[in-house]
Amino acid sequence: MTEHDALLAAVLADPEDDLPRLVYADWLEENGQGELAEFIRVQCEMGRAPKRHGAGAFCQCRRCVLYRRECELLDEYAYLWFPPPLVACLSPAGTHFRVPTPGMVGAHVTRGFAGHIACTLADWLSVGPAVVRSHPVTSVVLTDREPDDNGGAAVWWFSDATGRSDGTSAFVRDPIFYLLAGHAAGFRNSRYYPTREAALSALSAALIAWAKSQPHPARLSATPVSVDLTHDADRTVTSIAFRMSDGGTRHVPDMPPPG
């Protein structure tokens, strides 16, 4: 294990603690990644700073200075630090966090890393194992899954191998279903929870456990090496094209700024 990997592993092992993140930031700075190091420090300090207030763009309080720097760094580097299909946002209420489209994985970036993810089940099965190896993910929300309300209980169902359950948002297929904690009532093809929140929380835990259990660390295979932005007359970004490390190109159309 390289020094980098060991320091990153310490971050992943303790998502609540800032210290491993700040140690990792020191390593980044010593190894030519000063901007990412600054971003991690800025976001960690923001987590401890007084709550944001409604002051204008020129307020010089520490919280506002940090917030403006956070936005500048993310504007400049989000597409390199959180490469497609990740879409970084600063707020869990951000547009992409609530409704990322299929193929896009909403990542709420906090204290320097993606901590909360929103995407479809298919996208999580595709990229989840890579994401959890780079980010201390503590919650995953699936945008295409919603538990059934069954007599006051919230229920996830198992979609069997025949595929007869496809298209029903309360069905969670293998391999995730068997990692779900919860009460199996009657047939063993269901998991019952007292509330919707409990069902969503159990699903999130199962998704993370599954991703971490994958035997071969499937890192995001290609990373962006450069970015071409297309602007309209108002300097609004209208399209983003990444040249990837594997020689390919990825286009991200209609992407609003992180927020």
Query: Which residues of the shown chain bind Zn ion in the complex (CB under 5 A)?
Result: 55, 59, 61, 64
In three state form, how does the secondary structure of 132-171 look? HHHCCCCEEEECCCCCEEECCEEEEEEECCCCCCCCCCCE
- Pick 36 or 46: Cβ nearer Zn ion: 46
> Which token pair is 224?
């962006």
- Pick 55 or 93: Cβ nearer Zn ion: 55
- State the nearest-atom distance from the C-beta of 48 to Zn ion, in Å: 15
- Pick 12 or 71: Cβ nearer Zn ion: 71
- State the nearest-atom distance from the C-beta of 256 to Zn ion, in Å: 25
- Pick 58 or 187: Cβ nearer Zn ion: 58
Residue whose C-alpha is closest to residue 148's, from 195, 204, 210: 195
Cα dihedral 62→66→68→71 (10° resolution): -160
- State the nearest-atom distance from the C-beta of 53 to Zn ion, in Å: 6
- State the nearest-atom distance from the C-beta of 59 to Zn ion, in Å: 3
Residue 13's CB is within 10 A of a number of other CB atoms, namely: 10
At 243, which helix (H) or strand (E)? Answer: strand 237-244
- Pick 55 or 99: Cβ nearer Zn ion: 55
- If 0-12 CB within 10 Å is exposed, 13-18 middle and 19+ buried, where does residue 105 land? buried
- State the nearest-atom distance from the C-beta of 258 to Zn ion, in Å: 20
